[in-house]
Amino acid sequence: MEKISFSDVIGLGGIAFATVLLVLDKAGKLKGGLLFGLLCLAGAMTLFIAVGNSWVMDAPPKWKLWRGAIAVCFVAFTYSGLAIVISGGSEKSGPTSSTEARPEDKQPRTDASKPPDAPIKTKPENHAPPKEHETKGSDVTLDIGKSLNPKYAFETRLILTNHNSLPITRVTYTCELYDGKTGPCPVFAAVEAPVVDLPSGQSASIYCDMVMAEAYGERMGTPVVQIWVSYEYKRQEKKGFRFFIKRDENGAYVWFPLGSAEELKPPKL
């Protein structure tokens, strides 16, 4: 009966250790960098039995190196596969809901010169019919969301929702700003911005990147913002939404729906 060598004990211990790590990963008891570090340790322990077995050690001198290399590669590929399985499981077990607030959405942005965050794709909480206070289009709605910093007029996020039975694609939007007291004459128009394609029943958070127009808004009697949303749904379509902005008693900017947008007329010279 062959005796079990010290290298065999270490190698078998590495295999057993790797099995325990997999069990702990599936149970959610061990995650992150510590898990991968311990998995590397288990792989290093397994090398003792991989290169210390008789198939490698008793081989002819000219084959010993090659057999050892094959054994090392086999261990490396095996533990790499285990690491991929573990990393995939960690991603699936993490938060996948697109409605979870991002850190930058939770903390107000105080630096007006810093560009706002990009549009984010969100999942609506339910598919209930639009409420009366929503500004409606025929197939999409644009609702007033939260402001990241109420001290600035254009930090308010707007929620674009697709109520069609099919996705809408190639979604873009344009913001227009004018003084409601002087009539629909554009003072500032934001650059057209893209939005992710929206499946049926899903939403996207958008904003009017008009930081440079803050001074215009402060001088206006009644700032009015028009947002034109263009998208493809069987054919190219365009919907317009209009909002007005005012300050409350605390000096914070508040948005209110004002119905459908209208084509702006050129200024009179």
Position 39 pLDDT exceeds 50: yes
Which pLDDT belongs to residue 102? Answer: 45
Give Cβ neighbours of residue 172 (< 8 Å, ≥ 6 apart).
Answer: 192, 193, 194, 195, 229, 230, 231
Chain centroid to CA 46: how far? 39
> Beta partners for 90?
none
pLDDT digits (tens, 9 = 90+) for 130-184: 444 344 445 899 999 999 988 888 889 999 999 988 899 989 998 888 877 766 5
Which pLDDT belongs to residue 182? Answer: 65
Full DSSP string of 14-43: HHHHHHHHHHHHHTTSS-HHHHHHHHHHHH
Q: Report the interhelical angle of 61-93 vs 6-26 (nearest 10°).
A: 20
Position 230 pLDDT exceeds 80: yes
Which pLDDT belongs to residue 241? Answer: 93
- Return the structure tokens found at 242: 């209009």
- What strands lie across the sheet with 135-136, from one edge to the other? 120-122, 203-206, 156-162, 140-147, 135-136
Give the integer Cα–Cα distance in Å for 126 and 99: 11
Which pLDDT belongs to residue 158? Answer: 93
Query: What are the domain boundaries of the chain?
Result: 6-93, 103-260
pTM of the full structure: 0.46
Q: Write the burial class of residue 259 (CB in 10 Å: 0-12 exposed, 13-18 middle, 19+ buried).
A: exposed
Position 8 pLDDT exceeds 50: yes
Q: Which of 80-84, 88-92, 217-221 has the lowest mean pLDDT?
A: 88-92
CATH class label, 103-260 = mainly beta
Count of beta carbons in the 10 Å neighbourhood of residue 235: 5
User: Helix, strand, or coil here: 159?
Assistant: strand
Q: Write the burial class of residue 153 (CB in 10 Å: 0-12 exposed, 13-18 middle, 19+ buried).
A: buried
User: Helix, strand, or coil here: 54?
Assistant: helix
Helix (H) or strand (E) holding 240: strand 235-247
Position 115 pLDDT exceeds 70: no
Chain centroid to CA 88: how far? 18
Position 103 pLDDT exceeds 90: no
Give the integer Cα–Cα distance in Å for 168 and 106: 28
Higher pLDDT, residue 262 or 243:
243
